[in-house]
Structure 1
Amino acid sequence: MGHVAANKDNLIKRVKRIAGQIQALERELEADADCAKTLHLVAATRGAINGLMEEIIEDHARAHVADPSLNAEQRSQGVEELLEAIRRYSK
């Protein structure tokens, strides 16, 4: 998965920010924080995860579906992998 490796540092930074958001959410819940603040943290975390997912989906589509050097079988496999990830994510 060379396309992920090429962007690895940025993806890891995003994941670490998401982990920090999750930790902040845990602290707020443990501290019986105001529900509005907790909802904000959940929404922000979800947005960050959605952004990460969108970036990886785009990279996958470009590298495994739209790349003109791929044959039909490779493109078909790329599409199936992408659809399976989207199905799992949308549940």
Structure 2
Amino acid sequence: MPHNAEDKHRAITRLRRIKGQAEALERAVEAGSDCAPILQQLAAMRGAVHGLMADLLDGHMRETMAKQPAPSQADIDEMLSLLRSYLK
């Protein structure tokens, strides 16, 4: 979770963009658009979601790994679980 105002604003902006992409995709499906543009839009959404997740994972890892003197085993286990879910 972004903790400073700038990171939070950036994450919300990206989420709103993804939401707009999903709404446009819904309209295209309802309108019976061709498959190719729908697939391109899905790929764009997937890229946007992966980019947001990568940024959030980056921030979380930096916060967790910066703990003094060292992250706990529970922190490491949580990080590995998050990375596994991201890589699926």
Superposed pair shares fold, TM > 0.5: yes
Q: Which residue of 1 is the match for residue 21 of structure 2?
A: 21
The one-character-per-residue Cα deviations of 1:35-79 (angstroms, maximum 9, x if unpaired) are 0000010000000000001001111111102x1x4233x343332
**Corresponding letter in the other structure for 1:22:** A
- Structure 2: distance between partners of 1:29 and 1:75: 47
Partner of 1:80: 77
Unaligned runs of 5+ in 2: none
Q: Percent identity?
A: 40
User: Can you give the 5+ residue segments of structure 1 that lack an aligned partner in the other structure?
Assistant: none
State the TM-score, normalized to the length of structure 1: 0.83
Aligned to 2:54: 54
In structure 2, distance between residues paired with 1:8 and 1:60 = 13
Cα pair 1:61 1:78 within 8 Å, conserved = no
Q: Matched residues in 2 for 1:78 and 1:23: separation?
A: 36
Q: TM-score, normalised by structure 2?
A: 0.85
Corresponding position of 1:38: 38
Distance 1:33 1:90 in 2: 31
After TM superposition, what 4+ stretches of structure 1 lie above 3 angstroms from structure 2? none
Of the two structures, which has the highest relative contact order with CA contacts closer than 8 Å and spacing of 6 or more?
2
